[in-house]
Amino acid sequence: MDKYLKTADSEWYKQRLFNLMICVLAAFVILFVRLIYLQVIMGEELRRLSLNNSIRLQSIDPPRGVVYDRNGKVLVDNRPSFDVSIILKDAEPLEQTLEKLSSYIQIPAADLISTIPRTKGRSSYKPIVLKQDIGRNALAALEVHKYDLPGVAVKVNLRRNYINKQYGAHLIGYLSEINQ
């Protein structure tokens, strides 16, 4: 009888151990199949999504106030300015994108290419301003065709509008673009 109990217990343990091994093996097979699916089948799509998933710091310019004279007459106010910029990393292929863009903003593609600096160490995700203060017709054309222009963005900035440009420069001041 003692032999029978040892044999029945050992068979029962062997059966449970075998079932456990089957479950562990099935889990590893499922993980391996999922790994193959993610790497081989979905690899290119996931790579494309990961390249677009990055942190981009954007600066937000504060609005400047309106300047009045002592009688309440406006000397300086703000007006919208539409600036066209390009992000080099997103504008692939760059030459084709610039050629399409040149037809919409009426600037030769060679001039647009020359405005892009070829400096090393510059972030490829930093927008490069190609043209400032485009007109509303060019803005409308860019907004209609924005899906054909990858990496091209139109940013609305506020520009100072000096009502009477001949008076008050010593009080109001004058600022220009920051150089390198």
The token pair at 89 is 């990393």
* pTM (two decimals): 0.60
Is 86 in contact with 152 (CB distance < 8 Å)?
yes
Q: Which CATH architecture has domain 67-163?
A: Alpha-Beta Complex (3.90)
pLDDT in tens, 7-56: 667 777 888 899 999 999 999 999 999 999 999 999 998 888 887 676 76
135 Cβ contact list (under 8 Å, min separation 6): none
Catalogue the long-range contacts made by 133-136 (C-beta closer than 8 Å, 24 or more residues apart). 133/81, 133/82, 133/83, 133/159, 134/82, 134/83, 134/84, 134/105, 136/82
Q: How confident is the model at residue 82 (pLDDT cuts 50, 70, 90)?
A: very high
Who has greater pLDDT, 122 or 43? 43
